[in-house]
Amino acid sequence: MGTIVHRDEALQQSLEQLIYTTNVYQKSLSDEDRYNVLMNATQLIQTLRGPADMLYAQFENAANTGAIRTLLEAGVFEAIPTGGKSISATEISEKTGMDKELVVRHMRAATPVGPFREVGEEQYAHTPFSEIYLVPQMRAVYTSMMHDFVPGMMRNCEFLRQKNWKNEITLRNNPYSLVHNCEGKTAFEHLYENPSNFRRFNESMKAADSMLVTTGLYPFTQELGPLASDDTVTLVDIGGGRGHVIRQIKETEPDLKGRFILQDQASVIEDNGDEIQKYGIEAMGHDFFKPQPVKGALAYYIRRCLHNWPNDESQKILSNLAEAMDRETSRVLITEHIVPDVGGSMFHAWMDQTMMTFGGLERSTKDWAHLLDISGLELVKVWRAPGVPVGVVEARLK
């Protein structure tokens, strides 16, 4: 009886806290308050289910994930009509070639908590949560994670057991290489070898980029404007890919004078250099493991790149920038996820676990300060916005 009373009290407290944070969020609509609602909703579910039931929830999550991946690969998502119309398991089987029994059994795992809706016996319909998988870039995110990186997470335990629980994860020997049988190659080298996998990975990166704040975190005009002139190299975007970020910066900071330079591997620049120059941006092939050819730029900007590299490689990249910097006017700007020292979210966790599969890592402010220090730089400021998981780490020469 005491246990029941205790659980009732805990349930009431969790419910009251959820109601309170929901009311706060409805007034503010901030990402931070939204996160608080999610955490309190999770706490309510945990309180209601209890420890043993939550352990079994791990199996439920695995079944749901496995079913979604299978149904997506089998073409079931495309077979079900959009717009709220339903379809029978028999019709799905006829459209996809998947045995009806398998359709029904997998749908059992894909309807109680979504993403599909069960509308009757062996009758199913889309919801907004299943239709999102039909968006090409979002589908690429899911399939890339499920095929390329989640298997490494699942065998991380096996890899670390082989290493006697020591952190011996490297770029060429890691959970990713264990799963894909490619020891001696980096994950990116392995992806390059399969054009379809690499295209899928690139599409997933575009989708991930589109969901992140790109501009507005760092006040470029305010900080760089007083130092810039028409001849100044104002910004070098290092590893900037096809240049969508440097274009956004140039477009949103129209009063910022100077030269804007996009750098990436020569093959990337050759594919896109002429296009980017239409926007007044110079394109330059460059390997960031080699000395930086542009000296004394006001800002060397590197975005969502260093988390792909361990400290040794990241130190080399940053040291090359330090050697090119002007002591009085240059700074390095690094846009990355910043892991909180306390109270990190599951978003930070799954991102870091993904990086771990192939030798990268997400970093805290302390981690960034250490990395900068060993690279000849010092952390000046971390520019943040409430509820935004990425920040801009600003560094100057020591």
**247 closest CA partner among 277, 287, 209:** 277
**Measuring CA to CA, which residue among 146, 62, 57, 66 is closest to residue 106?**
66
Inter-residue contact 161 to 149 (CB < 8 Å)? no
Alpha carbons 121 and 104: distance in angstroms, whole number: 10
CB atoms within 10 A of CB 107: 21
Q: Given the residues 6, 126, 286, 307, select the one marked as catalytic.
A: 307
Contact 376, 322 (CB under 8 A): yes
Q: How many CB atoms lie within 10 A of CB 303?
A: 21
User: From residue 393, how far is each of 37, 330, 335, 383, 397 by CA, in Å?
Assistant: 28, 14, 6, 6, 13
Q: Dig out the tokens for 149 from the structure.
A: 């990186």
Q: Count CB atoms within 10 A of the CB of residue 207.
A: 18
Q: Which residues of 360-374 are buried (b: 16+ CB within 10 A; e: fewer)?
A: bbbbbbeebbebbee
- Residue 99 CA to residue 89 CA, distance in Å, equals 9
Report whether the peptide linkage leading into residue 175 is cis, meaning its omega lies within 30 degrees of zero: no
Is 244 a catalytic site residue? no
How far is 173 from 178, CA to CA, in rounded Å? 7
Cα–Cα distance for residue pair 201/203, rounded to 1 Å: 5
Residues labelled as active-site residues: 307
